[in-house]
Structure 1
């Protein structure tokens, strides 16, 4: 019998219990899934930061901790976590992110906001968008989510530049890396999409100096992590008009406080961290596959590099 501890808030248990049991059965695993296994009996932990497990020291038998979310910044620095940690890379999560990014990129590219807001009898036909091939889009972060979003935009014809800390090669994208590559990726970009993990090295990636590199009238999309943007610098760039607008899905404090300037800013659209989410049915398949792999003596998928922070 394999003992799997589900450590997340109670509402997620109701959502995940049945899909996880089905996925384990389909993988040929005999599993006892519970929220109440004694630490010394736990073989695997399904983990969310809002769950009860904070100290992993008692879980000496545990072979793998599997996060339910793509981001691991809230757990990767936990000194008690010495067990291997896997982050969630879920096809449905990726697809949801692609749909949000493509939708809001097209919204800005086509200038849809002006027409939606301007239903006042004025025939505004003097401004029209360029073709996608003439619009420069930069995706910061070329992990599973960034690569998928960049590829989807390239397939629509956009001129996409992708940036990552280490070199990548992705068909259809101009791929840059390193500090010099970051400046080149941002230079003249008309739409910037942030899909980096949040680490000490990526915090405030879009600061005043880097925002200044963007094309005048650029747009910023942040479905990644709130700490990737220097909020004061972005608000200043919006005030000057250098940045024409921002669509933001993630924030340093969530829910975003009601008195935060972003709520009332006419050039900012706030979405409540819904760019994509983990779906129980598909995520359960990912979790079951990782348990199957470890039980078979194979390396788990999507292991986190503790030194890199993702």
Structure 2
């Protein structure tokens, strides 16, 4: 049987060593070296090969090399083929680090101080105590819950919103469309960690921004497709929002003439908030292959009806 890897070659070599040690009879191949398509049972990728299931009719499992699966057409996967999204511990740790960094940057006015530095203005801005600042996370899966846990020691008032009800110690939670405005009305720093689905595409828009208190900050570490970019620019121009910290964009890399590059209230990073660790990712795959071969339940299986 063949395991086909279609992603970064350096990571592929780490995976090859780990998987061949665990499964000596596994033929590990790195795209485009496919070998016999009829022997391909497992594919790991960010963007799948075209005509995935027609090309590999014996396919059983598809592994996304990242936490997201919105780049994969779920409707093209036959019912017998399971799609798994990466849930290795390094992803959650990286997101907690970046999310904490971004929340603290917003809390301590770093975007405004960076602009003052560019204009050579030595000016102190009003400080707010952490226990007087409300942070809200949209999306309470492993990554969102992990970020909220990392923020607890600072003393922020913590809130979370998700599609279905969740209970998190020390966090005031809200669920569903009916509770969204109630959630937003108390949030000073809003973090988007939602999966990108048909329901959440474009959710960061003028309606959301207008429901926030004045001078709130947006942090988007979900997907660029969550954000209506014009609505964000309008909210920044009107001072409805004081700043935005963005790790994702609708088009990546961001076009050179995009206004976010030079906007005084926008801080950009190039989709680096959470990156799969090669060793951790390989261990995730090994664990699930063991389970699959033993007919045991798999971890990280995507529910096609929900999109994540």
- Do they superpose with TM above 0.5? yes
**Residue of structure 2 aligned with 1:65, choices 62, 67, 87:** 62
2: CA distance, partners of 1:38 / 1:72: 26
Distance 1:195 1:217, change over 3 A: same
Quick check: 1:18 aligned with 2:14? yes
Residue 301 of structure 1 and its aligned partner are, at CA, apart by: 0.6
Q: Is the 8 A contact 1:141 1:164 kept in 2?
A: yes
What SS does structure 1 have at the residue aligned with 2:168? coil
Which residue of structure 2 aligns with residue 34 of structure 1? 29
Q: Is the 8 A contact 1:16 1:284 kept in 2?
A: no
Which residue of structure 2 aligns with residue 56 of structure 1? 53
What SS does structure 1 have at the residue aligned with 2:249? coil
2: CA distance, partners of 1:248 / 1:95: 19
Deviations 1:225-278 (A, max 9, x none): 111111111111100001000011111111111111211211111111111111
Counterparts of residues 1-310 of structure 1 (less than 5 Å) = 2-8=1-7, 12-23=8-19, 25=21, 27=22, 30-35=25-30, 36-49=34-47, 52-82=49-79, 83-118=81-116, 124-125=123-124, 127-310=125-308
Deviations 1:68-110 (A, max 9, x none): 0111112143424541100111211111111111001101101
2: CA distance, partners of 1:66 / 1:256: 27
Distance 1:115 1:79, change over 3 A: closer
Residue 46 of structure 1 and its aligned partner are, at CA, apart by: 1.3
Q: Is the 8 A contact 1:189 1:214 kept in 2?
A: yes
Q: Is the 8 A contact 2:161 2:183 kept in 1?
A: yes
What SS does structure 2 have at the residue aligned with 1:257? coil
2: CA distance, partners of 1:274 / 1:61: 35
**RMSD of aligned alpha carbons:** 2.0
Q: Is the 8 A contact 1:20 1:285 kept in 2?
A: no
Distance 1:253 1:114, change over 3 A: closer
158-167 vs 57-66, greater mean Cα deviation:
57-66
Residue 28 of structure 1 and its aligned partner are, at CA, apart by: 5.9
1: CA distance, partners of 2:183 / 2:142: 19
When the two structures are superposed, what TM-score results if normalisation uses the length of structure 1? 0.91
Q: Is the 8 A contact 1:151 1:173 kept in 2?
A: no
Residue 121 of structure 1 and its aligned partner are, at CA, apart by: 8.2
Q: Which runs of 5+ in 2 are unaligned?
A: none
Residue 42 of structure 1 and its aligned partner are, at CA, apart by: 1.5
Residue 162 of structure 1 and its aligned partner are, at CA, apart by: 0.7
What SS does structure 2 have at the residue aligned with 1:108? helix
1: CA distance, partners of 2:115 / 2:259: 20
Distance 1:215 1:291, change over 3 A: same
What SS does structure 2 have at the residue aligned with 1:43? strand
Residue 165 of structure 1 and its aligned partner are, at CA, apart by: 0.4
2: CA distance, partners of 1:52 / 1:220: 35
Q: Which runs of 5+ in 1 are unaligned?
A: none
Q: Is the 8 A contact 2:111 2:243 kept in 1?
A: no
